[in-house]
Amino acid sequence: MIPADSHTKSQPLSSTEMPPSIAVPTPLIQINKLSLHYGDRPAFRDVTLSIGTGGITALVGPSGCGKTSLLTALNRLTDLIPGCRVAGEIRMGNMDVLAPQTNVIHLRRLVGMIFQKPNPFPLSIRRNLEFPLREHGSRDREQIARTIETVLQDVGLWDEVKDRLDSPALALSGGQQQRLCIARALALSPAVLLMDEPCSALDPLSSGVVEDLILQLRGRYTVVIVTHNLAQARRIADEAAFFWVHDGAGRLIEAGTAQQFFEAPRDSLTAAYISGMRG
């Protein structure tokens, strides 16, 4: 048995202590002492984490430890939640994400998000992709058509839907809908993709297809993925960060390269969690 307070001995890693990562050389997102509250209830406290360019970073931990809240702070969807307060600092490249003067529309174009449940709009497949593009100022029909084809090929959906682009997106299967949502995010050429348990609402086959797709995105996009599936995190992640609830709020316990994280975790709580003894 591991004592409940064992994790308090090790502090979350700051970026300077972070061991050099092989796949992800430069940090794109730097999170500093970030805390988030819903009204008086804290979701997580004092999270300091750096996320490298072009890698896949998996956020793991039990439910309610603030992983999804952290994702929504990164593209400021937290602005939409009444009573939600975010304190601390998030830097993305040289953008100060939380600064009031930051253009959130620009930010959200730069940071795409995939939700747990596929959520295409109740429009046709084509309109789902075309609508955000047009809203962001694309007017050239041919250019839009080319982008649609490219992103649908990127997510492996082109051959399945090219003959029925005008049929309703909601008629697609769950896995196809999720891939369409990924294509919709890719169409805006983001730098970062936030994924909130993108496979958890899918059947095992579709889940596998989406997981392969995420692997193909490695290197081209910086992916931050929340997952409850440790095996999946082990398969796809370059870096991993482990969260745990402590004193009623989520805390970052340990972060590092996936290899070190899964094979030689420094914190005993991490070790217990990944070996299935806790959580």
Binding site for other proteins (CB under 8 A): 75, 77, 80, 82, 104-109, 112-113, 115, 117, 119, 121-124, 127, 131-132, 135-136, 166-168, 170, 181, 184-185, 188
Cβ 90 to other proteins shortest distance, Å = 16
Q: Which amino acid is at 148?
A: I
Expressed in angstroms, the distance from the first to the final Cα of the chain is 13
Nearer to other proteins, 23 or 170 (CB): 170
Residue with token string 């490695």: 218
Cα(175)–Cα(203) distance, integer angstroms? 8
Nearer to other proteins, 110 or 237 (CB): 110
Nearer to other proteins, 80 or 264 (CB): 80
Nearer to other proteins, 38 or 121 (CB): 121
The three-state secondary structure class of 207 is helix
Structure tokens at 41: 């209830």
Nearer to other proteins, 112 or 250 (CB): 112
Q: Exposed/middle/buried for 147, CB within 10 Å: 0-12, 13-18, 19+? A: buried
Nearer to other proteins, 125 or 157 (CB): 125
Cα(14)–Cα(22) distance, integer angstroms? 18
Cβ 106 to other proteins shortest distance, Å = 7
List all residues 6 or more positions away from 257 whose beta carbon is below 8 Å from its beta carbon: 19, 21, 22, 23, 238, 239, 240
Identify whether the C-beta of residue 197 lies closer than 8 Å to the C-beta of residue 227.
yes
Cβ 127 to other proteins shortest distance, Å = 7
Cβ 44 to other proteins shortest distance, Å = 19
Cβ 124 to other proteins shortest distance, Å = 6
The three-state secondary structure class of 260 is helix
Nearer to other proteins, 79 or 263 (CB): 79
CA 185 from chain centre, in angstroms, equals: 12
Cβ 99 to other proteins shortest distance, Å = 17
Crossing angle of helices 174-186 and 125-135, in 10° steps, is: 20
Cβ 48 to other proteins shortest distance, Å = 25
Nearer to other proteins, 84 or 272 (CB): 84
Residue 88 backbone class (left: φ over 0; alpha: ψ -120 to 50; beta: rest): left
CB atoms within 10 A of CB 135: 11
Cα(80)–Cα(86) distance, integer angstroms? 12
